[in-house]
Amino acid sequence: MKYQIYGDTLPVVICELEGGEKMITEGGGMAWMSPNMKMETSSNGGVGKAFGRMFSGEAMFQNNYTAMGGPGMIAFASSFPGSIRAFEITPGNEMIFQKSAFLAGEAGVDVSVFFNKKLGAGLFGGEGFIMQKFSGNGIVFAEFDGHVVEYELQAGQQIVVDTGHLAGMTASCQMEIKSVPGVKNMLFGGEGFFNTVVSGPGRIWLQTMPISNVAGVIRKYIPTSN
């Protein structure tokens, strides 16, 4: 499979497949394709994995697109201003992404739910609690919100991230959700009640414009019905 990512603000990835090659995406992910691409809807792993994807922000069922009778082409477009990034997934090189980051991937990529180990803190941590884990073999395309900044964390090195700005990290990183210290800071600081602390070693991807933040700003200007 060959691919090219086009565009800056509202990007699209165009994939060129050999005959018989397959791509997976959730419903609505396909933007355009050649007429020989065959679509089949499947739970991709049974009911258990389907429910796991639902908890991680994806649809229970996925669409499989196969190039039939020769080379095929299929494009997947972003649904929000931001970035599309490609990641090579291999055994021992798994990735953790924010909810709803999955755009498309090769058939060998497995999408599952990732829970923060500290369940009590996670229940109140919002975006940082339930994420997506990508394992298996193949290329996966992730959709991030806004611009993306990368950091390489050394062993023991930490970074504190406002909840929602953590777009992705290698599975070697550790994530913990901590409350903002001080009642006054919580109530009047305007930064929310919780932050996400990520520890190395590993690489992290931070996004500048989480869709949840955008929704919160827009909500202030929507008239409420009486």
Q: What is the pLDDT of residue 194?
A: 74
In terms of DSSP bridges, do strands 82-89 and 148-153 run parallel, antiparallel, or are they unpaired? Answer: unpaired
C-alpha dist (Å) from residue 46 to 52, 60, 138, 217 = 10, 10, 20, 39
Please report, in tens digits, the pLDDT of each residue of the chain (226 residues total): 999 999 988 999 999 999 999 999 987 789 999 999 999 988 655 444 544 544 445 556 789 999 999 999 999 999 889 999 999 999 999 999 988 889 999 999 988 888 765 544 444 444 446 788 999 999 999 999 999 999 999 999 999 998 789 999 999 999 887 776 654 444 444 455 678 899 999 999 999 988 777 777 787 778 876 5
66: domain CATH number is 3.60.160.10
Does residue 213 lie within any of the structural domains? yes
Q: What is the pLDDT of residue 44?
A: 56
DSSP assigned state of 154: P
Does residue 94 lie within any of the structural domains? yes
Burial class (CB in 10 A: 0-12, 13-18, 19+), 98: buried
Q: What is the pLDDT of residue 9?
A: 85
Q: What is the pLDDT of residue 127?
A: 47
In terms of DSSP bridges, do strands 174-179 and 82-89 run parallel, antiparallel, or are they unpaired? Answer: unpaired
Task: For residue 215, give its domain range.
Answer: 2-219
Does residue 184 lie within any of the structural domains? yes
- Beta-carbon count within 10 A of 118 CB: 14
Q: What is the pLDDT of residue 187?
A: 44
Does residue 225 lie within any of the structural domains? no
Does residue 196 lie within any of the structural domains? yes
Does residue 194 lie within any of the structural domains? yes
Does residue 62 lie within any of the structural domains? yes
Q: What is the pLDDT of residue 126?
A: 47
Q: What is the pLDDT of residue 43?
A: 67
Instruction: Determine the 3-state secondary structure of 176 from DSSP.
Output: strand
Instruction: Provide CB contacts within 8 A for 121, sequence distance 6+.
Output: 176, 177, 178, 179, 194
Q: What residue spans of 16-149 are helical by DSSP H?
A: 47-55, 119-122
